[in-house]
Structure 1
Amino acid sequence: MTAPDGLPRHAEAQQFPTLDDVLQIGGILLTRLAERVGRTPFYAYERRHIASRVGLLRQVLPRGVQLHYAVKANPMPALVQLMAGLVDGFDVASGGELKVALDAGMAAERISFAGPGKRDAELRCAVAAGALLHLESESEMERLARIGSELGMTPRVAVRVNPDFELKLAGMKMGGGARPFGVDAARVPAMLRRLAQLELDFHGFHLFCGAQNLSAAALCEAQRLSVELALRLADQARVPMRMLNIGGGFGVPYFPGERALALDAVADGLAQSLDLLRRGSPDTELILELGRYLVAEGGIYVCRVLERKRSHGQTFLITDGGLHHHLAASGNFGQVIRKNYPVAIGNRMQGAALETVSVVGPLCTPLDLLADRMELPRAEVGDLVVVFQSGAYGLTASPTAFLSHPLPLEVLV
């Protein structure tokens, strides 16, 4: 894919400095990075940080837990290819993500496909490839059985369960109560009986309760409850449960006052859940599916100051980036109480006088806000604004077509 000016939208750039280097040298290398990228805005993701995060999880988590990457968090092809060599599998949520995952070299049998509203064409591609389909409804199960028959193949399936509990303190709840995701736990036994009558290869269950959680206690409770529920449901299946995907939900701190997740405590709780699973179903593979936690802190978004503007005593820095590229940092169209992401003037990291400013983008809406009355080094036209914690749910989670501005570039450094 190319950007409107002919530049490649995705670039792999090993010659670029690391993000740690950028911070240590006070922005000099960030300027060089911007020069090499060729224009702003852009996203930069650091392979060393991402690999270190995966390595840390490998050290801390109990042995026997499989680690999957949720491609939705950041589907940049070069980054997904990097992940293919680091994790045990991928989880995708569309035919497009399935293609990215397969192109990255991940074995099809290590790819699972979840999400409501899968189209027949997507189901056909997934079955033909040999991916594991996570069934979101009884009707999807029937459609998939028909498609498998037409292809002369037996689809590999798991049942996504909407649990009868919630992940407490989750930034986004994905289970418990009325949800479009998965099959209500009370309906699963009947679904399993019907599944056993169809030409489908049952592997196990997928439970995903919520996302962006910084509470180790809440995560551990949800993991335990997920294992307990899966074991009860497995008693209703005609074949043993071979896999259990308990989702992830590991959060990262974005805002002042938030503390990093206590990973050791999560690992201790997960070890207890794994032991519970081993006692009830010794041969079941336990899968942890993470996206944000693996990549969010390994990415930055960089845009350039186009103009300084004063209005009623307030200073605005108007940039060439904004909510159309980084919706989450702007507050998701006002859907949440907006707080400032970590933001810096990247080429003025040291020794500059401070001022209180708001950083805004070029869109015709007051919601196009990257920093609201933050104390930052005084910036001039041409300076670089950096938004940290930008490696997950950035570009592809944003309304890039809004007002038809050029797409930003993405680089893996």
Structure 2
Amino acid sequence: MSPAHTEQRQFPVLEDCLQLGGITLTRLAERVGRTPFYAYEREHIQSRIALLRSTLPPELQLHYAIKANPMPALVQMMGSLVDGFDVASGGELKTALDAGMPPSHISFAGPGKTSSELRCAIAAGVLLHLESEEEMARAARIGEQMGLTPRVAVRVNPEFELKYAGMKMAGGARQFGVDAERVPAMLRKLGALGLDFQGFHLFCGAQNLSSRAICEAQRLCVELGLRLAAHAPAPLRVLNIGGGFGVPYFPGERALDLPAVADGLHETMLGLTAESPQTRLVLELGRYLVAESGVYVCRVLERKVSHGQVFVITDGGMHHHLAASGNFGQVIRKNYPVAIGNRMQAGPREIATVVGPLCTPLDTLADSMELARAEPGDFVVVFQSGAYGLTASPTAFLSHPLPLEVLV
């Protein structure tokens, strides 16, 4: 049902039809009422978080990065499973607050925060991750105007990067955070401004499947945080070391060795506790919690043969799922795991290219992939679609309707 040699979550099949949340795909499509749609499984998300809780050190705080999937119902469910939320916009902040997460358990990161966003965050009492000296000065001015003391942490751009990360976000020149060598001087100004210093945020990269690289980056993040804490105007209470845990998408990729990561974190936390026992270590995960819980489902409209190549034309595509089209950071395009969801086990197979209705050759969900022979009315399913799907896509392109989202 998915490319060989890729270790990933497997959905059950009943009578040749995929099951989601205990419901067959055909029945689920009837309940949703139309295609395309995204579906996310509650049970898988709950199981993934339970696995993390039982494997990682119990003192570790687990936060959900809402940018991975901000569907309100999903975020509401997450609120009872994790220790906090991390947001990256005023809209995500509203989603987090609406879900009932206490403001003291919400952090707000990201460059280019507007003054309006800063006011909302300061008024709510969430933890601001300062991305620059200028943002620090604006936060101080706004806090003074409002008669409130902003709670802040400094986002640090370290000298090192997360090796083998699918997306590197630290090391060298970056728009994220404050270069490590500038942080001591910034902390002196922060103390003079009277801001409520809480700690540091270090996020080195995303989508990493190497436990060794993740452990090394986590150790270096903690060591750097402790060194910088010597310049801080208050004790180090929070150290957010990001996440970066990846999931397998493509042939040959192997799932992250979570026990190995846990072993490394245990050693790292021993050092942190010995030197700074009051510090809470925060792990911020998004993709790892939700990616494998979700599928994107669209319906086959017609088959077309051009110069001997079979095209399966659907009512969904790049405008709903940019990542699956290969246009969300891939250097060389690779197929996401894709299947004909109502023809999972039996029947003839063929090499086909799955495309959507957009007027661009970029609108490709599967390129020359072996699939069950699809007919009009069948369902194309893109797996690993629970993270960076709908809200990471150009939904306004060509003005097609938005897909629905369901939590099952």
Runs of 4+ in 1 over 4 A off after TM superposition: 19-22
Matched residues in 1 for 2:275 and 2:80: separation? Answer: 32
Whether contact under 8 Å (2:286, 2:387) holds in the other structure is: yes
Amino-acid identity (%): 76
1:133 maps onto 2:128 in alignment: yes
TM-score where L is the length of structure 2 = 0.95
SS in 1 for 2:387: coil
Q: How does 1:312-391 map to 2 (within 5 A)?
A: 312-332=307-327, 336-391=331-386
The amino acid that maps onto 1:290 is L
Residue number in structure 1 paired with 2:4? none
Within the candidate set 174, 184, 197, 1:189 is matched to: 184
Q: How does 1:199-348 map to 2 (within 5 A)?
A: 199-332=194-327, 336-348=331-343
Q: CA deviation at 1:280?
A: 1.5
Q: CA deviation at 1:229?
A: 0.3
Q: How does 1:158-197 map to 2 (within 5 A)?
A: 158-197=153-192
1:81 maps onto 2:71 in alignment: no
Q: CA deviation at 1:336?
A: 2.1
Matched residues in 2 for 1:193 and 1:224: separation? Answer: 26
Whether contact under 8 Å (2:143, 2:149) holds in the other structure is: yes
The amino acid that maps onto 2:74 is L
Whether contact under 8 Å (1:334, 1:367) holds in the other structure is: no
Matched residues in 2 for 1:72 and 1:337: separation? Answer: 24
The amino acid that maps onto 1:380 is E
The amino acid that maps onto 1:96 is G
Residues 166-220 of structure 1 show CA distances to partners (whole Å, capped at 9, x for unaligned) of: 0000000000000000000000000000000012100000000000000000000
Matched residues in 2 for 1:334 and 1:230: separation? Answer: 29
Q: CA deviation at 1:63?
A: 1.4
Whether contact under 8 Å (2:16, 2:346) holds in the other structure is: no
Q: CA deviation at 1:352?
A: 1.4
Matched residues in 2 for 1:117 and 1:24: separation? Answer: 48
Residues 103-140 of structure 1 show CA distances to partners (whole Å, capped at 9, x for unaligned) of: 00100000000000000000000011110000000000
Q: How does 1:81-100 map to 2 (within 5 A)?
A: 81-100=76-95
Relative to structure 1, the CA distance from residue 207 to residue 23 in structure 2 (aligned partners, 3 Å threshold; closer, same or farther) is same
TM-score where L is the length of structure 1 = 0.94
Within the candidate set 379, 389, 397, 1:394 is matched to: 389
Matched residues in 2 for 1:138 and 1:88: separation? Answer: 29
The RMSD of aligned alpha carbons is 1.2
1:34 maps onto 2:29 in alignment: yes
Whether contact under 8 Å (1:333, 1:367) holds in the other structure is: no
Within the candidate set 123, 126, 149, 2:118 is matched to: 123
Matched residues in 2 for 1:80 and 1:21: separation? Answer: 22
Aligned length: 395
Matched residues in 2 for 1:314 and 1:334: separation? Answer: 27
Residue number in structure 2 paired with 1:57? 52
SS in 2 for 1:341: coil
24-33 or 207-216: bigger deviation = 24-33
Q: CA deviation at 1:333?
A: 6.5
Residue number in structure 1 paired with 2:63? 68
SS in 2 for 1:193: helix
SS in 2 for 1:142: helix
Matched residues in 1 for 2:66 and 2:329: separation? Answer: 26
Matched residues in 2 for 1:92 and 1:31: separation? Answer: 35
SS in 2 for 1:286: strand
Whether contact under 8 Å (2:46, 2:81) holds in the other structure is: yes
Unpaired runs of at least 5, structure 2: 1-8, 19-23
Unpaired runs of at least 5, structure 1: 1-18
Q: CA deviation at 1:408?
A: 0.2
Whether contact under 8 Å (1:49, 1:298) holds in the other structure is: yes
